[in-house]
Amino acid sequence: MSDLDAEVQTASEYGGDGPPVDEKPYKIVFEANACFGAGKCAEVSDTWEMDITTGMAKPDTYYIDESDLEHNVAAADACPAKKGDGCIHVVDRRTDEEVAPDPHGDGTLSVDW
C-alpha cells in the first residue's frame, strides 16, 4: 500500500465509528459548508430540521436504519445545494457506497470539500 492509498478516506469513515453497523447500516454525510438553507430536506424528512439561529438545516442523527432510509434519501435528492448534487449524502456503511444522491451513478461519494 502506498502512502497515497493510506490517505484515502472511505465514505463510512467520515465522522467516526458510530453505532454498530448491523443496528444503523446507513450514515448521513452532511456538507454543512455547502448548505444555504433552502429547507427542502426538512420538508421531506423528519430527520432534518431548520435551525432558526443559523438559518441552515441540520440532522438530528447521522446514523440511520432501514426505517429512516426512504425519507433521508428523499432529503438528499431534494437538496439543491452544490448546483444540484446536494450536500446531503446517504452512505451504506456495509458497502461504502453512496445511496443518494449518487450523481456519478457508481456509488462513489460525491462530497466536495
Topology of the domain comprising 20-100: Alpha-Beta Plaits (3.30.70)
Which residues have C-beta within 8 Å of that of residue 113, sequence separation ≥ 6? 31, 33, 34
pLDDT in tens, 17-39: 789 999 999 999 999 999 999 99
Query: Is pLDDT at 3 greater than 60 in this prediction?
Result: no
Instruction: List the grid coordinates of 44.
Output: 421531506
Cell 429512516 -> residue: 68
Supply the pLDDT for residue 10. 67
Please return the burial class of 39, using the count of CB atoms within 10 Å of its CB with bins 0-12, 13-18 and 19+: middle
pLDDT in tens, 48-84: 999 989 889 999 999 999 999 999 999 999 999 988 7
Higher pLDDT among residues 103 and 79, named by residue: 79
Q: For residues 75 and 81, is the Cβ–Cβ distance under 8 A?
A: no
Q: For residues 40 and 75, is the Cβ–Cβ distance under 8 A?
A: yes
What residues does each domain of the chain span? 20-100
pTM, 2 dp: 0.86
